[in-house]
Amino acid sequence: MVHTYEAALRDRMESLGGMSVRIDHPTPSGDANPTNLPLGACYAWPASGTPLAPEVTAAVTQYGPPSLGFVRDRHDLGMLLLADAHVHRGSVWSFAPTNNEPARLTKAILLARHSGDQDLGGGRPFVAGFEGAEEDVNSADRSSNPR
């Protein structure tokens, strides 16, 4: 697993889970079906001075380069944070569990404002699906609580 951070916001956001996206790869068993639960460590990492096991070396060689190049730029990081599902690129994917959508939306808005990214527009790609929701809530409130 690899975490790709926005360096300018990393320290300021660290106590809130960081400004990052996690990149996962298939488990040693070959399972490439991401879940909303984070996987535990896939490989035993050796103690100091002990060589890597062959399967660890193979996994780092196979999944390292696509994981490190997964996030293309700040805009891409923002879009990955706004994604409503895991985003697959080749043999790796971003970890986007449904239970942290509000946190990811908040981070994407902060990133957009920090970087001046008008295309992220303060989370517009994510919140576009909620357009009109406020009117629906207000009209429901008025019908159930007449004044």
H-type alpha helices, 69-100: 74-82
pTM for this predicted structure: 0.71
Q: What is the pLDDT along the chain (147 residues), one digit of tens a residue?
A: 787 778 788 788 777 777 888 888 887 766 666 666 666 556 777 788 888 888 888 888 999 999 999 999 999 999 999 998 899 999 899 988 888 888 888 888 888 888 888 887 644 554 554 455 444 444 444 444 454
Looking up tokens 């196979």 gives 62
| Residue 27 CB contacts under 8 Å (≥ 6 apart), including other chains | 39, 42
| Residue 17 CB contacts under 8 Å (≥ 6 apart), including other chains | 103
Strand partners, 20: 5
Q: What is the H or E stretch that residue 115 is in?
A: helix 101-115
Q: What is the count of structural domains for the chain?
A: 1
Distance CA 69, CA 39 (A): 21
- Evaluate whether 68 touches 5 at the Cβ level (below 8 Å): no
Residues of the domain holding 37 = 2-144
Strand partners, 74: none
